[in-house]
Amino acid sequence: MGRVSLSAVADHVGVSAKTVSNVVNGTGRVGEEVRKRVQAAIIELGYRPNLAARHLRHGRSGLLALALPDLKEPYFAELASYFVSAAQERGRTVLVAQTGGDHATERALCSGEDLPAIDALVMSPLALTLADLEHREQAPPLVLLGEQAEAILSADVLHIGMANVPAARAAVEYLIGRGRRRIAAIGVQSAGPSASSELRFRGYREALEAAGLQVDPSLLGQVKDFTRVDGMVAVESLLQDGADFDAVFCFNDSLAVGAIHALDARGIKVPEKVAVMGFDDVDEAKYMVPPLTTVGPSPETVSAQAFAAIDSLAEHPTGRHQIAFELVIREST
């Protein structure tokens, strides 16, 4: 059976093709009784709008690209899921790429190499440089996400991020307010893309200093990546070295999952003995044992802000959008 045309729906209902188009696109003035008849016919006949033709009429392809470092990590997996769902609601399609933080891959995507005609590229880069953003006249519109992107911002880029330093400071101040004084920091990086680590460590340090506490090197958990395994290994290392701490501030929620696993393996109760604070507010945080206190915005909020930026690209192709943070208090603290 061939594709049902818009004209076939119009003939079935006994109205003009323009009337059916108005119902499909939510435009024009159509009476409620006629609208219901058209909608019933669309379902009965199995009509599906030709999205490609619609997008071409509006001067866009209907395709978006989303490039993220690691889709197995909860934060990026959730971000991709929410972004694709938002696109589907708008009748648009998303091409998803996993970059692995590889410079050549990020640079190629940023310049539009091997990409079809897309309306915009949303990327959370780890290795991109300011030089890579030059001479992009023929490349697709670009929306950058995250802390590493913020470190390479130029005047002609659209960026979405959050105030990492104040957010981290608020998280540690909350722990201090709960009476914790020996607070470990899990997520310190000495190599590789480290913008997130540096900003969140700065907030950690500021909170301690404001409370008259010193940064203790023995409480700094070094990691290579922000993964569950890295969080577990960092806490295990602190425990093996005999570090004495009553709270852990993890620079993302995956690190916090690993931290809680390491503490539980040693019979150290959370939060009775050690309070645990995460960062990013992924969905998994609600279902951990105990549920994890963390700092938003969540991946869902970031996705919504990214789409708001895409929808306004024609009017605002550049600029910085900062999303407000919030502490999400749960049982782990």
Q: Are residues 34 and 126 in the same domain?
A: no
Is the residue at 332 inside a domain?
A: no
Number of folded domains that form the chain: 3
Q: Are residues 268 and 255 in the same domain?
A: yes
Is the residue at 122 inside a domain?
A: yes
Q: Are residues 168 and 232 in the same domain?
A: yes
Cα(113)–Cα(273) distance, integer angstroms: 52
Q: CA nearest 186: which of 267, 251, 92?
A: 251
Q: Are residues 261 and 283 in the same domain?
A: yes
Q: Are residues 303 and 157 in the same domain?
A: yes
pLDDT reported for residue 137 = 64
Residue 161 and residue 322 in contact, taking contact as beta carbons nearer than 8 Å: yes
Is the residue at 304 inside a domain?
A: yes
**Whole-structure pTM value:** 0.80
Six token digits for residue 99: 């970059």
Q: What is the CA radius of gyration of the chain?
A: 24
The amino acid present at 147, given as its one-letter code, is E
CA distances from 27 to 19, 20, 121, 317 (A): 9, 10, 29, 27
pLDDT reported for residue 222 = 97
Task: State pLDDT tens for residues 146-161.
Answer: 998 887 776 567 899 9
Residue 50 and residue 65 in contact, taking contact as beta carbons nearer than 8 Å: no
Q: Are residues 140 and 201 in the same domain?
A: no
Q: Are residues 140 and 168 in the same domain?
A: no
The amino acid present at 277, given as its one-letter code, is M
Task: State pLDDT tens for residues 19-67.
Answer: 887 887 666 688 888 988 998 988 888 887 654 445 444 556 789 999 9
Q: How far is CA 3 from the centre of its chain?
A: 37
Q: Are residues 280 and 306 in the same domain?
A: no
CA angle 170, 159, 255 (to 5 degrees): 45
Helix, strand, coil abundance in the chain, percent, nearest 5: 45, 15, 40
The enclosing domain of 141 has a CATH number of: 3.40.50.2300
The enclosing domain of 32 has a CATH number of: 1.10.260.40
β-pairing, 294-296 with 326-328?
A: antiparallel
Q: Are residues 97 and 212 in the same domain?
A: no
Q: Are residues 291 and 169 in the same domain?
A: yes
pLDDT reported for residue 312 = 82
Task: State pLDDT tens for residues 270-314.
Answer: 999 999 999 999 999 999 999 999 999 999 999 999 988 888 877
Strands in 142-145's sheet, in edge-to-edge order, are 93-98, 63-68, 120-123, 142-145, 158-162, 319-323
Task: State pLDDT tens for residues 4-18.
Answer: 777 888 899 999 888
**What is the residue-wise DSSP string for 157-200?**
-EEEEE-HHHHHHHHHHHHHHTT--SEEEEEE-SSSS-HHHHHH
pLDDT reported for residue 321 = 87
Is the residue at 205 inside a domain?
A: yes
Range of the domain at 198: 164-296
- Is the pLDDT assigned to residue 255 strictly greater than 60? yes
Cα(331)–Cα(37) distance, integer angstroms: 53
